[in-house]
Structure 1
Amino acid sequence: MKRLFLLCLCLASYVSHAHFTVVHNVKGYTPTRSGEIAQFSTLVIKDGKVVKTGNADTLKQYPQSTVIDGQGLTMLPGLIDAHGHVIGLGENLSRLDLRHTKSVSEVGQRLKQYAKNNPTGWIIGRGWDQTKWTPSQFPTAQDLDKYVSDRPVVLTRVDGHAIWVNSKAMALANISNDVTTPEGGEILRLADGAPSGLFIDKAEPLILNHVPERTSTQLNNALDKAASHLLSLGITSVHDAGIDEATWRLYKNRSAQQSMPLRVYAMLSASDPNLKNMLKSGIVKEQTDYLTIRSVKIYADGALGSRGAALLKDYKDRPGHRGLMLEQQPALEALIRLSVKHGFSAHTHAIGDRANRIVLDSYQTVFKETGGKLLRNRVEHAQIVDTDDIPRFKSLKIIPSMQPVHATSDMHMAQQRLRESQLTGAYAWQTFLKHGIKVAAGSDFPVELANPFDGLYAAITRMDKAQKPKGGWRNTEKLSREQALTAFTLDAAYAAFQEFKIGSLEHGKWADFILIDRDYFQVEEAQLHNIQVQQTWIAGKPKYKRN
């Protein structure tokens, strides 16, 4: 009888341990909820979740487990991008890419070649930035007509806040000299008053409403293409900043089919005409945490590059102009109120210091009248904030969702656009942290490249990839390696109510992790952006492996 009991005990032990996966021989680092960075060499997984981290002796405790040799690679928690545009990224990967173009003529040559390779339909592209050109000025429809005049062309500026179109696109959209500029938008005009071909912020729909709608197949392909790219970069979860109804349906369908390719925390777009219906459908949160929809993306102002960011004082390089508020305070308050009444967080895009102040005022008013202060509401970007307003983020419990790579991309342009007094609270990550405010970090892809190691490098150095300016731009705002990693993991998870689910490799959390080719904490700063992801895992299952 005793032998039978011992045999049963051994079998039970064998069956139990057979469900464990142990990844060992790694240089592991994880943020923890206590605020420390824990180190380990072994990770134990069961049912897709972390059982424990430990050292070489930990492996001996699980003799019948599935053992994976990490080959001395560095392990980090799966990285979280707290602000991106998933479908936009997927579409961009197959559309005309104008990033890093240095002139109108270079854009034209790429356009001409793309039109040849894609001979029918509207030509859609993105990525141009006139501040990188010589001369640095906005282009016109005629500049595009020289290269393609028989098909409509719509090219979105890198920040998504302006489009450049050719004459054919304006003709199909019935744009005439007497077209009215929508409030919150701007139509740039030629000397004779005719539309130039540049449509900013709320003027964009005058053209975009005429672009053929995407099919279900195209949306699915865009999701899969974007996810494949993001997983290869070590991103296991993304906060999708503003989805329309079609994408909302796509995500819900893919979640029901259990075919979401990575974790998505999606924000409903406040500009979608069916917002109220989506809110009435309620919060989406499924057990595997692959899909969460519990927030609304609201748009307060434009972007700095197109001079649409709303400022308290005039632009240094455009006297008399203070940017564009896409929604005035009463409308912002109404949208925030609508969100919180349905239990949804309100995440509001605000780049300029005037926009940030108005948004904070709007939150304050709604919290007093309606509540919702504990919903982890956010300001997306919080790029230029008056220093008097930074402490208000703490008192109002507002999370700044910031993109470190914006600082190194924008630094030259920002100094042209802004005065020193306006720059004091610009890209002020360290100042926010010193006020006890968590910062959720992301990239704003496809505005910027999605690679999170570009963002970590920018956060830690505040230099471009040529290591300029020496010592970093406005370097008192630099983050430590620990702070930067936490912003891209645990604090990003907190900003989505997921800090007990993901963001660190602690007991009971999903085993989302990456293996990288260099030690993040030991590699030279100049090499941080060159780190390569070798493997990406979600819930204890491999999702990407570098060939």
Structure 2
Amino acid sequence: MSVLGQSVAVYPPDIRSIDGLIEALRTHPLLGCSTDAWVRGHGFDDSKFAERRKPTAQDLDKVSRDQPVALRRCDGHTMVVNSRALAIAGIDAATPDPAGGRIERDESGEPTGVLVENAAIELVEAHVPPDEEDPADRLAALDEHFLSRGLVGVTDLFATFIDDPLPAYRRAAERGLSPQVVIYPGWDALKSAAGSHIVPDLDEDDRFGRVKIGGVKLFMDGAFSDRNAWNEDPYPDSCHHGGQVAADDDLLEAVAWARHNQVQVAIHAMGDRALNHVIDLFGDEEPWMGEIPSIRLDHASLFTPAMIDRVNAARMSFGVISHTIFFFAEYEAYAANLTQEQFKNAYPIRSFYERIPHSALASDSPATAWADSDNVFISIRAAVERRAYDGSDIGQEQAISVGQAVLLYTSRASEITRLHNLGGIRPGLEASFVVLDKDIFTVPTHTIDSVEVSQTWLAGEKRYEA
């Protein structure tokens, strides 16, 4: 969250229209300061907008025509920029779509300001001046927030918003950031930093300690909420299947590097075709990480029973990390973008729990369409009740118990991510735990999201009290 810096949050349920989004962006502290200062925002979900569309450059020009304005969608896969930002980046009707990305255009071929996937987003991001503030200070400032949420271990699954993330996080730890941190830099960013050279190897110090590199991250596809997840079947009322983002050569190269450096590969894969493609590529290969998964299937959204059979039969050791917060917060988008059959196979958390030992739940905060997405009790309630924020059924047959949901967020998560000595209370662990204000196992399930952390203990020391 801290890497978003001076960025205005425009998440639902707070922002539900383009007009409301514009008003929120007008509160940016740098608006009106300098024509070179970027006005940034993050978190919009157009599926909840009264206008039922994405904002465009024309809309963001109402915030400013003199300053560049850049706004990330909640899922992180789309950015919208104003006319000034397009001009700075040199994007016009003649600009071709980059490989793995798309520049949306109007009927005349002019860019609308909507940039889809990281390859297109980077056309603009490359022109944003570096932040002069040390990111370690912003990371350290998150400590109170993390501890108030009871988070004693976190993973950064796309640590490319910060240059040299490992030193930055370690400086933050020296300045007061308490949780253990496992970092997964983006493979594209590592290659870009290396330039024409081979991506450098990690040393032992990089891979161990309270703050460490856990692996590298790649994107197999986009998101369901924007119809960019890669599916076997087309989206409803469409011939569009989504598409592949990372090239096979990049995937193979990243896995070879991770194997050599004894770290994981985390692959964003939401659609069933994306997930099957990863299993096709690596299912028969020898794993390299011992007792923990070598390859993480992150988000793992559309997952049939047959695909679970494939994971269990594979020679490769796969971990499956999924969510309930997406289904909970983005119900309208999933209802519109999945067929009835796909809906039944979306986020099968009970099947994951029962059939895949290396499975866990995660928040994906802040790339989630909910202002309070790193509140684990919202995700636990959604896992137990399998109902969206508006009460809609999101797959009752895949509901799990409170205890099972807690395990997916604690011991199972720590095992997959190498968060050492966390995830339980027993001899040999580091005595990091939380005290809650209510008994999560006995409160009515519809009130689980009202449970709060009273105390957070880290390595036997009380570090937070409400």
- TM-score for the superposition, normalised by structure 2: 0.90
Check if 1:388 corresponds to 2:310.
Answer: no
Counterpart of 1:525?
A: 445
Structure 1 SS opposite 2:24: helix
Question: 8 Å contact 1:111–1:148 — kept in the other structure?
Answer: no
How far 1:292 sits from its partner (Å)?
2.8
How far 1:453 sits from its partner (Å)?
1.0
How far 1:117 sits from its partner (Å)?
6.4
Counterpart of 1:156?
A: 72
- For 1:126-525, what aligned pairs fall within 5 Å after superposition? 126-201=42-117, 202-215=119-132, 217-244=133-160, 245-254=163-172, 257=174, 259-272=176-189, 273-274=192-193, 277=199, 279-282=201-204, 284-286=206-208, 289-317=209-237, 319-365=238-284, 367-368=285-286, 375-376=292-293, 377-396=295-314, 397-448=317-368, 449-466=373-390, 468-469=391-392, 472-498=393-419, 501-525=421-445
Kindly provide the CA deviation profile for residues 414-433 of structure 1, in whole angstroms up to 9, marking residues without a partner as x: 12111122223211111122
How far 1:281 sits from its partner (Å)?
3.4
Check if 1:97 corresponds to 2:97.
Answer: no
Question: 8 Å contact 1:92–1:446 — kept in the other structure?
Answer: no
Query: Bigger shift: 159-168 or 526-535?
Result: 526-535
How far 1:277 sits from its partner (Å)?
4.3
CA distance in 2, matches of 1:149, 1:294: 42
- The letter of the residue matching 1:105 is D
Q: 1:371 to 1:439 in 2, by over 3 A?
A: closer
Question: 8 Å contact 2:299–2:323 — kept in the other structure?
Answer: yes
Unpaired runs of 5+ residues, structure 1, are: 1-88
CA distance in 2, matches of 1:254, 1:380: 26
Question: 8 Å contact 1:491–1:503 — kept in the other structure?
Answer: yes
Kindly provide the CA deviation profile for residues 283-341 of structure 1, in whole angstroms up to 9, marking residues without a partner as x: 6354xx52232311121111112221111121114x12111211133332221122112
CA distance in 2, matches of 1:154, 1:436: 40
Structure 2 SS opposite 1:337: helix
- The letter of the residue matching 1:453 is F
Kindly provide the CA deviation profile for residues 26-45 of structure 1, in whole angstroms up to 9, marking residues without a partner as x: xxxxxxxxxxxxxxxxxxxx
More strand by share: 1
Query: Bigger shift: 205-214 or 393-402?
Result: 393-402
Structure 1 SS opposite 2:412: helix
- The letter of the residue matching 2:203 is S
- The letter of the residue matching 1:401 is I
How far 1:515 sits from its partner (Å)?
1.3
How far 1:233 sits from its partner (Å)?
0.8
How far 1:475 sits from its partner (Å)?
0.8
Question: 8 Å contact 1:383–1:427 — kept in the other structure?
Answer: yes
CA distance in 2, matches of 1:312, 1:197: 29
Question: 8 Å contact 1:282–1:342 — kept in the other structure?
Answer: no
Question: 8 Å contact 1:125–1:156 — kept in the other structure?
Answer: yes
Correspondence for 2:33 among 112, 119, 130: 119
CA distance in 2, matches of 1:188, 1:95: 23
- The letter of the residue matching 1:167 is S
How far 1:226 sits from its partner (Å)?
2.7
CA distance in 2, matches of 1:511, 1:352: 38
Question: 8 Å contact 1:453–1:530 — kept in the other structure?
Answer: yes
Question: 8 Å contact 1:301–1:327 — kept in the other structure?
Answer: yes
Choose 1 or 2 for highest CA Rg: 1
CA distance in 2, matches of 1:118, 1:234: 38
Counterpart of 1:109?
A: 23
Kindly provide the CA deviation profile for residues 426-458 of structure 1, in whole angstroms up to 9, marking residues without a partner as x: 111111223243321110011232111111111
State the aligned residue count: 447
How far 1:518 sits from its partner (Å)?
0.4
CA distance in 2, matches of 1:517, 1:129: 32
- TM-score for the superposition, normalised by structure 1: 0.77
Q: 1:278 to 1:403 in 2, by over 3 A?
A: farther
Q: 1:290 to 1:258 in 2, by over 3 A?
A: farther
Superposition RMSD on alpha carbons, in Å?
2.1
Structure 1 SS opposite 2:328: helix
Kindly provide the CA deviation profile for residues 111-151 of structure 1, in whole angstroms up to 9, marking residues without a partner as x: 22326767341011101111111231222100111231110
